[in-house]
Amino acid sequence: MPKRGKKYSESVKRVEEGKLYEPREALDLIPQLSYAKFDETVDIAMRLGVNPRHADQMVRGSVTLPHGTGKQARVLVFARGDKANEAREAGADFVGAEDLVEKIQGGWLEFDRAVATPDMMSLVGRLGRILGPRGLMPNPRTGTVTMDVKSAVTEIKRGKVDFRTDRAGIIHGRIGKVSFGTDKLLDNFYAFVDAIVRARPPGARGQYIRSVTLSSTMGPGVPIDVGKVTRQ
């Protein structure tokens, strides 16, 4: 086990061992566990009862958080002509076609989300090995392969985030900043969890949500009572 710092060790003592917290209770506690000098992100980790190695058990989708994430996403759009102009007008940070593909192949990755019109996917497909592992590949299931690039860019700028299970069946996400306060974080929490519930795959059997943990960037995890993760 890695050696933890004094501040982290002090924070851990505030989390009652063996207790499962209600979401509001946990979000009230997290600011007390946050000790960094910057505004820490509030992260969520959900372990699901799925086996992502089976195609019918992969959980993937997107959700627009009511209060955003606290970070302005840098959006790249692969498009030409009128759709490129539409993307720029919607606030896309980078717009292009072959020029962007070459730039990315050269090692440039200074963006957070990528959108593409369907006709661009034969070109964007060359970047699969680069963008795929980083979760940056445009995908119809998350609304990032679309002709409505204006809506796609606008939603991302407003706080739309993608989610997908990792190899262990865990979904990692962010629901805002510590400075948001409990009420806004709680709204975002419920929106995120509801999206995961709606995305339950047909191949999932038994208990779907196995565990949920909330934490700040530097702080310890706070385990959540899975029976209380949806609005009552």
DSSP line for 145-162: B-S-HHHHHHHHHHTEEE
3-state secondary structure of 54: coil
> Which residues in the chain land under pLDDT 50?
1
Give pLDDT, residue 7.
81
Give pLDDT, residue 3.
61
* Angle of CA points 91, 92, 98, to nearest 5°: 150
**How many Å apart are CA 134 and CA 76, to the nearest integer?**
14
Give pLDDT, residue 141.
85
Give pLDDT, residue 173.
94
- Please enumerate, as own/partner, the contacts of 126-135 that have beta carbons within 8 Å and a separation of 24 or more: 126/101, 127/101, 130/104, 130/105, 131/104, 134/109, 135/162, 135/164
Give pLDDT, residue 48.
97
Neighbours of 211 (CB within 10 A): 14
Give pLDDT, residue 2.
56
- Tell me the backbone φ, ψ of residue 134, rounded to 5 degrees: -95, 0
Mean pLDDT score of the chain: 93
**How many Å apart are CA 140 and CA 153, to the nearest integer?**
14
Q: How far is CA 158 from CA 54, 63, 76, 141, 152, in A?
A: 33, 11, 15, 19, 10
Q: What domains are defined for the chain?
A: 6-68+161-228 (3.30.190.20), 75-158 (3.40.50.790)
Give pLDDT, residue 1.
46
What residue ranges in the chain does DSSP mark as E strands? 41-48, 60-64, 75-78, 94-96, 113-116, 160-164, 170-177, 209-216, 222-224
Measured over the CA atoms of residue 14, residue 16, residue 17 and residue 20, the dihedral's sign is negative
**How many Å apart are CA 67 and CA 58, to the nearest integer?**
27
DSSP line for 71-95: S---EEEE--HHHHHHHHHHT-SEE
**How many Å apart are CA 210 and CA 46, to the nearest integer?**
7
**How many Å apart are CA 141 and CA 56, to the nearest integer?**
14
Name the nearest CA neighbour of 145 among 59, 79, 92, 73: 79
What percent of the chain clears pLDDT 90, i.e. is strictly above it? 79
